[in-house]
Amino acid sequence: MTVPPIRPRNRRRGIRPAVLASFGAAAVALAVLTTAAVLPGLAGAEQTDAPPAAQSLQVFGAQLSATPRDTYTATPGEETYVAGGTNRDWASLVLLYGEWPVTEENVTVIMRWMRQENYEKTWWNRNNPLNNGWGSGGGGGLGSYPNLRVAAQNAAEALHTHPGYAGIRDGFAASAPTEVTEAAIWASPWASSHYANGSHWHYTPTQVIKAPAEAW
């Protein structure tokens, strides 16, 4: 007699540990993949959604003004002095021809000097304001020149040529104080009297007087 096998009682089947481990590993892998896929998106979303940095432009109150232009002044030349025609112009012309500075000190010295040699109101007498004997054809400075322009040229040339006038040249070149250049004039052989070493020199203000046009 064959005995049939005894069937086990129905019971809940459990999940094997190996299968459970496989499920766990798959779940972890899925979580990693999901996180990797989501994180870049989140990062991109953060970068995209972030508001742009605020930019500002500050303009400081600067007032625009016109650029100042250089000013130019013309140095008076020969024709300017001739056109002026005064004793001051003639003194300036001597300095111009002698290539010395046309300064107030130098002009003052020559104007005083002219007054010592000629009457101030007729300073152009014989077209020889300083009674210069150089090239004037007259001894002792009593000669004359064709015009006052030539007289100024000869005065400058005489001062540059004679060794006894070195002190006068130096005074003009340095635009020295008037008393320095005047002392050099007194010490020079320009006048045999040497202007009594300055005791005959006059310091009252000189008058500016115009010579006749034909004198030029």
Per residue in 22-50, pLDDT tens?
Answer: 434 444 444 433 444 433 443 444 444 55
Which of the four pLDDT bands, split at 50, 70 and 90, describes residue 19? Answer: very low
Query: What does the pLDDT read at residue 14?
Result: 42
Q: Give 133-188 pLDDT, tens digit per residue.
A: 988 887 778 899 999 999 999 999 999 999 999 999 999 999 999 999 999 999 99
Say how far apart CA 107 and CA 95 lie, in whole Å: 8
